[in-house]
Chains A and B, each alone.
Chain A
């Protein structure tokens, strides 16, 4: 069962998730090394491969505010982390959906580092504290992109089968 490996408060900016000084690095294959680079302990565990895929970062409100840098998503996606937050900033949420980052909007979530979470479409269940928190759906406007497996695949569909894709999202 996935474990909470890191916890942050409200208004965590993309400068904290992916510091600006590493922005010259753009390729998704290269960005994961700089995830939370200014939090050396957590960054060290990520780089050492000590964080299993599927592990959870718990965030507060407005997770991912600030810069539109997509590295802030690709660096987390590269480690196959899931983000459970009270809510997300707009651009981060869209970038996350576009790249297929697992994001769960859970306005009441309460969990500490080390807690085990069971995550479904409906709720986050904190198995450690035996508490359940309802989950809100991602924006319905983006569902077609999620279903296609991300925006690159969705746009490719639109280019190659314009009729079918338009029918699907109408």
Chain B
């Protein structure tokens, strides 16, 4: 069996499953953000007309993280957050992260850094980038709010079709200023935005073994941009290191991996040795070009952060490139770390100081600018270069603007020049 087949078999209480089987896996972790407001609505709807009291099946397995519009940008959002806050208190939801500088942050960083996700888990989230958590060897996938309401009621996901798996083997060593973001953009460009629809991308190979969990989170985060149900890196020693050293996990960790004779739908091999920085051009994530083809494009706003690239190593490389320099005139630069913890680490290491001194605006952790719902909006005809995950028309809040996607190194190098710039040529 593949890793995900093993996870689904165990969670569904059967000896084995194969692609195409229909199962009903028990859920280990169910995550929502502000859209818990809609989940609550649908959850109460399920119980309407019954004699049952609406109770979450196991509140210790439910996480609610405020991150999309924090602090609230409108009375409507504030009122929804108030409603969710009252509900999680009433239901004793165990993993609630409110708007706070210490324990708050973006859901896809809060879950890993608190050790909430473990190898072998079934994780569902009302957010398409829930695929991120495959980086820890879990089967993690995005669902809608009504599906989450059903999970809250029953503790399982109904009628899940076991997805086929595509094996991606990555060899070689990244050159300086090239990394996981360039790899995943290259892969999406190769297989297109539909290339893995209803399928799993399972990552293997020496380059993955050497990659930190932070980098693996980038790969699995953007697996959904190829349409994938999930991305997964089967748990290994790095997973254990991350959970022990960075997430403070002390209880036993189980490794779930694919069998040698696992059935894959297809295999893709990528050697990263000669890979250069990749850029996803407007308005689809699979419109990927080597940086040489778009270098020189003028940029009005640089964004570094998000659930994709707002972790400490992302901020480190950006701070290193920016240090002593200054953000180009007529270019704005926004930085938003992925969590309060990362913000504090970046402060302690001097990254935040380097950003501010260079002219960047450092914002609180959150999702806002990435999807154009909270600060950082673009003007008509403006262009953004961003380390986020989507460049759909209107994604950053204005359908008359354009968004290019890149790595933190490219974003920082471009901030200094005001045009898309190859970091290998400026440093």
Contact = CB atoms under 8 A, between A and B. Distances in A.
Contact of A95 (B144, B159, B395): B144
A66 to B, nearest CB: 6
B392 interface: yes
A122 interface: no
Interface in A21-71: 21, 23-27, 38, 61-62, 65-70
A98 B143 CA distance: 11
A26 B161 contact: no
Given A20-B371, A145-B158, A152 B144 contact: no
A169 B154 CA distance: 16
Nearest to A88: B197
A25 B373 CA distance: 12
Contact of A20 (B41, B127, B147, B372): B372
A91 B142 contact: yes
A26 B130 CA distance: 20
A24 B394 contact: no
B68 interface: yes
A20 B111 CA distance: 23
Contacts of B250: none
Contacts of A78: none
A141 B159 contact: yes
A16 B37 CA distance: 22
A64 B149 CA distance: 21
Interface of B is mostly: loop
B46 A68 contact: no
A13 B194 contact: no
A79 to B, nearest CB: 18
A128 interface: no
Given A20-B372, A159-B154, A15 B392 contact: yes
Nearest to A162: B154
A123 interface: no
A155 interface: yes
A167 interface: no
A98 B147 contact: yes
Interface string A103-135: 000000000000000000000000000000000
A154 B42 CA distance: 12
B303 interface: no
B323 interface: no
Interface residues of A, number: 47
Contact of B149 (A65, A155, A169): A155
Contact of B41 (A27, A66, A87, A99): A27
A15 B371 contact: yes
A73 interface: yes
Contacts, number: 155
A69 B394 CA distance: 15
A89 B68 CA distance: 23
Interface in B163-198: 193-194, 197-198
B128 A68 contact: yes
A153 to B, nearest CB: 9
B143 A94 contact: yes
B146 A95 contact: yes
A90 B76 contact: no
A75 to B, nearest CB: 13
B390 interface: yes
Contacts of A141: 22, 159-161
Contacts of A150: 146
A151 interface: yes
Nearest to B78: A24
Contacts of A95: 144, 146-147
Contacts of A61: 194
B153 A62 contact: no
B190 to A, nearest CB: 16
B291 interface: no
A145 B144 CA distance: 14
B227 A70 contact: no
A11 interface: yes
Nearest to B395: A15
B271 interface: no
B77 interface: yes
A62 B226 CA distance: 10
A149 to B, nearest CB: 13
A65 B222 CA distance: 13
Given A66-B128, A91-B143, 9 more contacts: A11-B286, A20-B395, A24-B80, A26-B37, A61-B194, A67-B371, A144-B158, A158-B154, A169-B159
23 contacts: A11-B194, A11-B284, A13-B392, A13-B393, A15-B390, A19-B394, A20-B371, A26-B41, A26-B80, A62-B227, A67-B127, A68-B126, A68-B127, A73-B144, A87-B194, A91-B143, A94-B147, A98-B146, A99-B146, A141-B160, A145-B158, A151-B149, A155-B150
Closest 3 CB pairs of A and B: A95-B144, A20-B371, A26-B38
Interface of B: 22, 34-35, 37-38, 41-42, 45-47, 49-50, 52, 68-69, 73-74, 76-77, 80, 126-128, 130, 142-147, 149-150, 153-154, 158-161, 193-194, 197-198, 227, 229, 284, 286, 371-373, 390, 392-395, 397, 399
